[in-house]
Amino acid sequence: MAVVNEKSSNFDFLSSLTSDIGQIIADPAMQRVYEAYDKVSQSMRSYLSGQEGFLEFKPPLIGPVTDPGTRGAKQTEIEFYGKNYKFMSSGILYKQLLAINRQKAGYPGRIYFFADNLRMEPLETANTDRHLAEFIQVDLEIVDADHFDAMEVAEGLVRNVYKDMSKHEELLKPIWTKFEDSWGPRGLTPRTEIKVPSKQFKKYEFEEAVAILQSHIDENPTVISEIEERFKIKVNKLRPDMELPWEYEWLLSSMHEEPFFIHDYPRGARGFYDREYEDKKGYLMDFDLLFPHGYGEAISGAAREYDHRKVIPRMKESGESLGKYKWYLDFLHKHGKPTAGFGIGLERTVRYFCALPSIMMALPYPKVPGVFNP
């Protein structure tokens, strides 16, 4: 019987998911992971509720549309009294509408969700150690803000989690001990403490991040073959006009000791709702935050496009049906105004602080692409 033993890899864990999941849940180290999950959740909620004007809302679980820009993941539909509704893969459109209308009602336009999301990720993402089909995303939106305002809130939130989790190293150390043999094979830096970042998080423009990666690859000719061997994947050539694939995010992350931002992605990398620069055509006012030590992206955010006349051609470019977005386009036409926001993966954050080999270990009942378990 495959169980989570004193020293265990994520491959033992994966087989246990389908053979005896109770053995995993009952494991003392896994119980510590679940406690850490609770503490990370509390830290995020406490920070946001303590920021002036922020109010938590319950997001929709299903709706007529959801975020179409989920980077290869398929949407999931449900019949809702004769209509086809979709499970939320992200609440971007809904939080934009909610924040603006809250301000219109005379309250601060600052809202957040602890949102359940469902994404049918491609099967190959099961090998990335950082993708789940079912997960919690802490989503927020701010009216009269741009992406740099959102980055400021994101840094404050992440820094607060660092501070809070640094007080719980005794909870985390047995988890680190259990999984330390898996860190090397998965390209993760050994963990001995939670070190609160001492400086402001670095910010790289997308083109700068690509240049750093390309320079590293040029100086280390074997790095691509090493990535392919480590993760059992085929690595495509780095392109300056496309989203950074997760393996390049891993590489850049492994080169850093503290969290950092990448911003101003090319237009083709993101959805129709991310605002394009007026004075820098082809680039978007968006950003990602990456954890260091090989853990990769934790946050994705942007300033939102609010002019329906600009949203419509972007929708057409991506092949979206305008009819199903009529309610959203009508809202932008009548009430659209600048907002910005982001989403941070709760399980990805737990994985980072617990130094878990795989994100699937952050939950008692993880839903992993292609794995069938309770």
Beta pairing class for 62-63 and 54-56: unpaired
Q: How far apart are CA 220 and CA 75, in angstroms?
A: 39
Q: How far apart are CA 366 and CA 374, in angstroms?
A: 8
Strand order from edge to edge, sheet including 286-291: 54-56, 110-118, 134-143, 339-345, 296-303, 286-291, 260-263, 202-205
Q: How far apart are CA 374 and CA 372, in angstroms?
A: 7
Using DSSP, state whether 357 is helix, strand or coil. Answer: coil
pLDDT the model gives residue 138: 98
Q: How far apart are CA 359 and CA 2, in angstroms?
A: 19
pLDDT tens by residue, the chain, 374 residues: 334 455 554 546 777 787 788 889 999 999 999 999 999 999 999 999 999 999 999 999 999 988 876 567 788 899 999 999 999 998 999 999 999 999 999 999 999 999 999 988 878 777 778 889 999 999 999 999 999 999 999 999 999 999 999 999 999 999 999 999 989 888 899 999 999 998 999 999 999 999 999 999 999 999 999 999 888 888 988 888 888 988 999 999 999 999 999 999 998 878 899 999 999 999 999 999 999 999 999 999 999 999 999 999 999 988 888 998 999 999 999 999 999 999 999 999 999 999 999 999 999 999 988 888 88
Half-sphere exposure of residue 105, counting CA atoms within 13 Å on the CB side? 10
Q: At which residue do the structure tokens 């470019």 appear?
A: 317
Domain ranges of the chain: 10-362
Q: How far apart are CA 122 and CA 211, in angstroms?
A: 28
Length of the chain: 374
In terms of phi and psi (left: phi > 0; alpha: psi -120 to 50; beta: otherwise), the region of 78 is beta
- Topology given in CATH for the domain delimited by 10-362: BirA Bifunctional Protein; domain 2 (3.30.930)
Residue 103 class from Cβ within 10 Å (0-12 exposed, 13-18 middle, 19+ buried)? buried
pLDDT the model gives residue 74: 83
Q: How far apart are CA 146 and CA 28, in angstroms?
A: 44
Residue 262's beta-bridge partner residues?
Answer: 204, 288
Residue 286 class from Cβ within 10 Å (0-12 exposed, 13-18 middle, 19+ buried)? buried
Strand order from edge to edge, sheet including 62-63: 62-63, 83-87, 77-80
pLDDT the model gives residue 3: 44
Give the ranges where the chain is alpha helix by DSSP (H). Answer: 10-19, 21-26, 28-50, 92-104, 147-166, 169-183, 206-219, 223-231, 246-254, 308-317, 326-335, 346-354
pLDDT the model gives residue 319: 86
User: Which two three-digit tokens encode residue 60?
Assistant: 């929709």
pLDDT the model gives residue 269: 79
